[in-house]
Structure 1
């Protein structure tokens, strides 16, 4: 009698374990493999990714975050990566995804594994404007190249204000951190591409309390850059200068304390404190 009870308990426990495992989206046949992700901006990631049933998968949320895209679950079955220049939608249970408004067959449906949502890596690489460059069948290592990043804006804080360059229009938006009031200054930085260029923003305060903001947009390969210089007095813009195609470093504040602003035609020398133009020299 005791042996029968022991067998019955064992069967019940086995069935309970199967039921519990069935409530989680796990896959015993899955394993991690090494993936090298080479981004077009020169950054390289070495991450573990998933191999299941002969297909290599990548975490859509991890790659989306690295690509500077916002990720979210639109509902319990729909995952979205979004930015001003990229929009990717995948649906659980379906191998059909949407990339920038176009339907794409991923080949396999997404997979949940230990709290991550995985999609076929070939699809993910193509959706991020890259490709699978190499797959080592022996080691399982996969190499992706040309992956893009899609920054929406570039921000920096100074003296209670946030200065943001909006990549869609290339203008500078200044926001008061307490009131939320914004001012937009047209710059015309067109076609910002963070995959091939660097964009930096720096600030200097002169001895007589003018604020100089310098924005540099430079080509990584050639080091040629465009320089945007803005001079503020009491948070109001008093001077703006834009120069394209520079190759040498330009200092905004000279050794004598005067400020020089360079544009495509000339170099203006202005007075500290007042911002008055003292001289204009041909470039």
Structure 2
């Protein structure tokens, strides 16, 4: 019976919302739900309903894992896995022993399947996601978890039939033709991408003479300084690339006179639209 329930959970998990919103319609066992506040290192705060069973508060394994930017999958019939950049969490039905990055951890209780969600003790799950159970209100049952990490490791953009992907593990930008599947990788030099402290955005601009300008901004949320990576393509071929670090002011790449500005850590280059030729170089 447990195996059938487990397979059923996997089949319909995509049809469930990633997180139960607080105040959503309650099931016939709604008295078993309590409020859970999730505080993330990247600044997010979520309020959801979570399961209280036999005096133990549980968190949704797949939902919190998705919120942390981790991918989930099944390994066999009774093993659930969350994995991503530098993080792998494994739990097994019928076992209190989990694995976090290869290290065995006693969760205290076995996983629980309830209303289409797999639940594990929230104290364990918070710790596995580098957070901690900060407070539990004995009157209301509300639990507050702080310091949860985001492990998102892949960033996407798409334009003109091409997908642009940046992976934290390499810091390169991978360009894929959506029609042929052909891939090309270009080193950017972004090191140690951390979405808990920084924002990463990919933007696209087409010049009047059909050059494609791709910009990647990696911004420190606290200090507001950012690194700017710029690539210029002509007929899908890379013709110019630059990287400038520690910028504080907004930098305009496309100038009113129709030229393109490229900045690196030493120089400012003025590029001709259309040909991509360097018209002028000045020291910063």
Superposed pair shares fold, TM > 0.5: yes
Match of 2:56 in 1: 55
CA shift for structure 1 position 30: 7.2
Structure number with greater Rg is: 1
Alignment of 1:245-260 (within 5 A): 245-260=246-261
Q: State how far apart, in whole Å, the 2-side matches of 1:164 and 1:72 are.
A: 22
Q: State how far apart, in whole Å, the 2-side matches of 1:204 and 1:24 are.
A: 49
Q: State how far apart, in whole Å, the 2-side matches of 1:152 and 1:92 are.
A: 28
Q: State how far apart, in whole Å, the 2-side matches of 1:255 and 1:29 are.
A: 61
Match of 1:85 in 2: 86
CA shift for structure 1 position 28: 7.2
Match of 2:140 in 1: 139
Gaps spanning 5+ residues in structure 2: where?
Answer: 7-27
User: What secondary structure is seen at the aligned counterpart in 2 of 1:64?
Assistant: helix
* 1:30–1:50 contact (8 Å) kept in structure 2: no
CA shift for structure 1 position 24: 7.1
CA shift for structure 1 position 92: 1.1
Q: State how far apart, in whole Å, the 2-side matches of 1:280 and 1:183 are.
A: 29
Alignment of 1:99-178 (within 5 A): 99-178=100-179
Q: State how far apart, in whole Å, the 2-side matches of 1:29 and 1:149 are.
A: 29
CA shift for structure 1 position 73: 2.3
Which segment drifts farther, 70-79 or 85-94? 70-79
Gaps spanning 5+ residues in structure 1: where?
Answer: 1-19
1:279 lines up with 2:280 in the alignment: yes
Match of 2:95 in 1: 94
Match of 1:187 in 2: 188
Alignment of 1:33-52 (within 5 A): 33-52=34-53
Q: State how far apart, in whole Å, the 1-side matches of 2:74 and 2:182 are.
A: 31
Residue by residue over 1:50-107, the C-alpha shift from the partner in whole angstroms, topping out at 9 and shown as x without a partner, is: 1111110001011111111111222222111111321000011111100011111111
* TM-score of the superposed pair, with normalisation by structure 2: 0.89
Match of 2:203 in 1: 202
Match of 2:16 in 1: none
RMSD of the TM alignment (CA)?
Answer: 1.8
Moved over 2 A (4+): 27-30
Q: State how far apart, in whole Å, the 1-side matches of 2:162 and 2:30 are.
A: 53
